[in-house]
Amino acid sequence: MTFPTLGEFLRARRALLDPHDAGLPVIAGRRRVAGLRREELAQLAGVSVSYYTRLEQGQSVNASEAVLDALAGALRLDEHERRHLHALASARPKRVSRPPVERLDPLTRDLLRSLGDVPALVTGRRTDVLAWNPLGHTLIAGHVDPSSVDRPAERPNLARMLFLDGHTRELYVDWQRKARAVVGNLRHVAGRHPDDPLLAGLIGELSMKSLDFVALWRDHRVKPCEADSYELRHPMVGSVTVTQHNLTVARSADQSLCVMTTAEGSTSADTLALLGGLIRDQSASAPAPEPAPFGRTVTP
């Protein structure tokens, strides 16, 4: 699996633009291509058609910032997509090496533990779950072994679960909107880390196993996950609406702390409190570990 090139991004985004919305005259008759033609986009950006064609075909490199900004304006890109365009234009092939295993800083683990009454989890660059508190685990992935986050080779991956795990798909009432957000974030990360083989492997796996992922990945929308509200259909407590806040971890810029909140005084706040109570009851009723025989210690 290889990441998209500048040309693929340009082709995909001009296909999404309507000539009428771009202020171009619409000539009667059927258009042979979706969206804008190359010459129309070149006209809007103020560059020659031949130069723009070379950009799309990968035959021209080192496009100036002014040209890229003009193309971004013509394509109506937002700030995240504009930065993605610049990243693709400046990307150069590098020697690919396997990145180190993502680890959780002890101070981040302390922060997560302090959020006992708030569902929270920490994810890595590729949406692997590095850690979660009990309420975060039960709310998002109660069917998954909670200790799996401590084994790097078995860590749950939120993007993989969203597209390939039936429990997670059923959890989100508006699954399509959540899926679009996750794909947009993967596009954002891929632009920042074009040489990450593990990220490429994840995208390749999802492309092979999920037609839904292929359809969303194809339109090249770019947007990091920041904060949004989703209604969840939870198997234990029913409907609950939470806002998922994704905060950058101070000591690890590629990691995010996802904190899930509810509106004050809402039914969802009561529902989340009920779920927390159920977790505490289960924990209290769990059998205590057997004491070690006299003269021996037990290594956990």
In this predicted model, what pLDDT tens digit does every residue of 226-282 receive, in sequence order? 899 999 999 999 999 999 999 999 888 899 999 999 999 999 999 999 999 999 988
Could you give the CA distance from residue 152 to residue 282 in angstroms, rounded to a whole number? 27
CA 118 from chain centre, in angstroms, equals 21
Plot region of 224 (φ>0 → left; ψ -120 to 50 → alpha; else → beta): beta
Which residue type is seen at 90?
S
Helices (H) and strands (E) in the chain, counts: 13, 5
Contact 129, 123 (CB under 8 A): yes
Sheet holding 120-123, edge to edge: 129-132, 120-123, 252-261, 238-249, 227-234
CATH code for residues 106-283: 3.30.450.180
The label of the residue with tokens 């699954």 reads 175
**In CATH terms, are 6-90 and 106-283 the same topology?**
no
pLDDT at 300: 39
CATH code for residues 6-90: 1.10.260.40
Could you give the CA distance from residue 299 to residue 87 in angstroms, rounded to a whole number? 49
Instruction: Using alpha carbons, select from 122, 146, 112 the residue that is nearest to residue 252.
Output: 122
Give the SS3 label for residue 74.
helix
pLDDT at 295: 43
Quote the pTM value.
0.73
Give the SS3 label for residue 198.
helix
The upper half-sphere exposure of residue 215, i.e. CA atoms within 13 Å in the direction of its Cβ, equals 7
Domain edges within the chain: 6-90, 106-283
Q: Is the pLDDT of residue 107 over 60?
A: yes
pLDDT at 218: 85
The model's confidence at residue 100, banded by pLDDT at 50, 70 and 90, is confident
Contact 259, 115 (CB under 8 A): yes
The model's confidence at residue 44, banded by pLDDT at 50, 70 and 90, is confident
Which residue type is seen at 235?
P
pLDDT at 191: 82
Which residue type is seen at 168?
T
The model's confidence at residue 62, banded by pLDDT at 50, 70 and 90, is confident
Could you give the CA distance from residue 59 to residue 216 in angstroms, rounded to a whole number? 27
Per-residue DSSP letter, 244: E
Contact 151, 145 (CB under 8 A): no
Q: Locate 214 and state its tokens.
A: 């292929």
The Cα-based distances of 65 to 6, 207, 250 in angstroms read 14, 32, 30
